[in-house]
Structure 1
Amino acid sequence: MGEEECSKDDILLYQGATAPLPNGIPTYTVQILNACPTRCSVADIHVRCGWFSSARLINPLLFRRLRFDDCLVNDGAALASGESLSFQYANTYRYPLSVSSVACC
């Protein structure tokens, strides 16, 4: 049997405004979901993220910037089909986040 096919289009990334921090900095919630229809696991998920930074600490195992415009999700570990993770960041403006690459496993 061949390897399950998957693509970066199977990873859905949503973000929306959340209540601001007490000091007024806007906060956003990001959800990343593996919506692969063939029950494939997707690993090594990279996101275009500019100079992403946050006034609120984010667990680096969930989401961290490796270099300009390259953030790693879930420390590179696989997200099973239907599995999601979310985190919040705080910044004066919303970053345009989009999935740039994934690996099928």
Structure 2
Amino acid sequence: MAVVPVDLFHMGGAQTAGEVADDIFGIGPRPDGGGDGSDGNGGGDGSDAGDMNRVGTACSKNDITIFQGETSPLPNGIPAYTVQILNMCVSAGCSISDIHINCGWFSSARFVNPRVFRRMDYNDCLVNDGQPLGPGQTLSFQYANTFPYPLSVSSVAC
């Protein structure tokens, strides 16, 4: 799958992570409570680290948000999931690369392009082959397993 730009400027003004998910992914608020920032995925915790409207502050891992939701199972009945990884920072020069995700022993019964998402080691998955996600861009992929993996951002490079 390729990186697909998403126009965050025309999505109805300031929105929470759950509202953005409703608009672009159709899954509603995240099961972890809608993105309060306590999981390292960003959200509205009030800190400057995840504020998309900041000026003069470097990017952080809080600018990357992960959504995942169940999708149609494989023909053999194995549950399938769609994951979207978004760069929520829309400021110029806010490309984020070398995105690493906490992913446990991630594996999939459905092929996942390793350039898009691959497990490097236990609890370390690399996004987009280490290449940058530009401001407002999103990347998506699908995987299949008997359970969804809890995914959270562990580190990024700005």
Instruction: Tell me the TM-score normalised to structure 1 length.
Output: 0.94
Which ranges in structure 1 are unaligned for 5 or more consecutive residues? none
- Determine the C-alpha separation between the residues in 2 that align with 1:37 and 1:79: 11
Post-superposition Cα deviations, 1:26-80, rounded to whole Å, max 9, x if no partner, equal: 0000000101142300000000000000000000000000000000000000000
Aligned to 1:78: 132
Letter in 2 for 1:26: P
* Correspondence 1:14-53 to 2 at 5 A: 14-39=67-92, 40-53=94-107
The offset of 1:4, in angstroms, is: 6.1
Aligned to 1:64: 118
- Determine the C-alpha separation between the residues in 2 that align with 1:37 and 1:84: 12
Q: Which of these residues, 139, 142, 151, is aligned with residue 97 of structure 1?
A: 151
Larger RCO (CA under 8 A, 6+ residues apart): 1
Q: Percent identity?
A: 67
**Farther off after superposition, 33-42 or 77-86:** 33-42
Runs of 4+ in 1 over 2 A off after TM superposition: none
Structure of larger gyration radius: 2
Q: Is the Cα contact below 8 Å between 1:4 and 1:38 reproduced in 2?
A: no
Which ranges in structure 2 are unaligned for 5 or more consecutive residues? 1-55
Q: Which of these residues, 41, 47, 66, is aligned with residue 13 of structure 1?
A: 66
Higher strand share: 1
- Determine the C-alpha separation between the residues in 2 that align with 1:79 and 1:93: 27
Q: State the number of aligned residues.
A: 102
